[in-house]
C-alpha cells in the first residue's frame, strides 16, 4: 500500500549516523556530506516505486556531484519479513544499478526513525549547513516511469547548492511503506 512522506520541515538539522555500506566500509554523515549539500534517501531493493525510478536516481546523483551535492542511500527495511531487502541483496542491487553513492544498511532502524522516514523512496535534501531544504519527490512519474517528467528533486537540490535554500513549493514523495520490525 502506498505511503506519502511528510512535507519539508525547513531548517531541521540532519541527524548524525554511522552505518555499514555494501562496499564493506562504514560511513557517517560527515563522511558523505558535500561542500554544498547532501541528499539522504531511504530506498530498498524490492519496492516497485524505487525500481521504476532507480536509473533516474543514479543519473541525478551523478549530476548533483558537479554542484557539490553528495548522495547516500539507506535501506532500513526489516529483512526478516522482506528477504529481498537483505544486506546480501543490497550488495547485488547496488552493483546491478551501478550506484555512484554509498548504500547503507540501517538494520536496527534507528536512523530511519531519527529522520522520520516513512516510505521508499523518501528524500531528504540538506544544504551545506545540514539544514533540511527538500522533502519532496523525485518527479511525478510514480511507478509509471514517465520519461520526460520534470526533475523536481534534481532542480531542488541544484537550487539548494546554489542558494542554500530549497523551493517553497514541494510535492511529497510517495512509495512503499518502510517495513518496520515487530515491536
Q: Which of 61, 58, 54, 57 minimizes the C-alpha distance to 37?
A: 61
For the sheet with 132-134, list strands across it: 103-105, 69-75, 37-42, 122-127, 132-134
Average pLDDT over residues 14-27: 98
Average pLDDT over residues 125-136: 98
The pLDDT score that the predictor gives to residue 141 is 76
Task: Give the CATH H-level superfamily of domain 2-177.
Answer: Glutaredoxin (3.40.30.10)
Average pLDDT over residues 92-114: 98
Query: Domains of the chain: which residue ranges?
Result: 2-177
* pLDDT(2) > 70: no
* pLDDT(126) > 70: yes
Q: What does the pLDDT look like over 29-56, one tens digit per residue?
A: 999 999 999 999 999 999 999 999 999 9
Average pLDDT over residues 129-141: 94
* 3 state SS of 65: helix
Grid coordinates representing 12 are: 531541521
The pLDDT score that the predictor gives to residue 145 is 65
* pLDDT(143) > 90: no
The pLDDT score that the predictor gives to residue 30 is 96
The pLDDT score that the predictor gives to residue 183 is 73
Q: Look at 141 and 51; give whichever has higher pLDDT.
A: 51
Q: Mind giving me the DSSP string for 73-118?
A: EEE---TTT-GGGSHHHHHHHHHHTT-SS-EEE-TT-HHHHHHT--
Backbone phi, psi, residue 175, to 5°: -175, -165
Amino acid at each position: 500500500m502506498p505511503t506519502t512522506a511528510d512535507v519539508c520541515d525547513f531548517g531541521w538539522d540532519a541527524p548524525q549516523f554511522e552505518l555499514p555500506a555494501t562496499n564493506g566500509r562504514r560511513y557517517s554523515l560527515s563522511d558523505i556530506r558535500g561542500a554544498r549539500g547532501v541528499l539522504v534517501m531511504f530506498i530498498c531493493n524490492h519496492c516497485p516505486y524505487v525500481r521504476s525510478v532507480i536509473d533516474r536516481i543514479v543519473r541525478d546523483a551523478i549530476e548533483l556531484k558537479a554542484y557539490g551535492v553528495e548522495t547516500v542511500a539507506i535501506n532500513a527495511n526489516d529483512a526478516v519479513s522482506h528477504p529481498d531487502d537483505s544486506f546480501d541483496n543490497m550488495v547485488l542491487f547496488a552493483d546491478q544499478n551501478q550506484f555512484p553513492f554509498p548504500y547503507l544498511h540501517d538494520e536496527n532502524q534507528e536512523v530511519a526513525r531519527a529522520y522520520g522516514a516513512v516510505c521508499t523512496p523518501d528524500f531528504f535534501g540538506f544544504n551545506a549547513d545540514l539544514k533540511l531544504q527538500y522533502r519532496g519527490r523525485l518527479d511525478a512519474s510514480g511507478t509509471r516511469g514517465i520519461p520526460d517528467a520534470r526533475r523536481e528533486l534534481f532542480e531542488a537540490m541544484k537550487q539548494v547548492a546554489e542558494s542554500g535554500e530549497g523551493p517553497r513549493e514541494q510535492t511529497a514523495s510517495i512509495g512503499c511503506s518502510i517495513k518496520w520490525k515487530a515491536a
